[in-house]
Amino acid sequence: MGAMIKNEQQYHITKEWLQKFERSVAEIDGNEDLKAKRRRVWYL
């Protein structure tokens, strides 16, 4: 089993990192120029 969140501080820090990750994925996913240049990566 993996590590568990044990208190409110860990919960909030984890939630902030997850939100940053989701924004990054959305930004990359919406970048058509990057997709055109790195076409092979998007098919993996």
pLDDT digits (tens, 9 = 90+) for 1-44: 678 999 999 999 999 999 999 998 888 888 888 777 777 766 65
- Give the count of alpha carbons within 13 A of 10, CB side only: 5
pLDDT for res 42: 63
Q: What predicted TM-score, i.e. pTM, was given to this entire model?
A: 0.64
pLDDT for res 3: 82
- Cα angle 40-44-31, degrees, rounded to a multiple of 5: 60
Radius of gyration of the chain (CA): 16
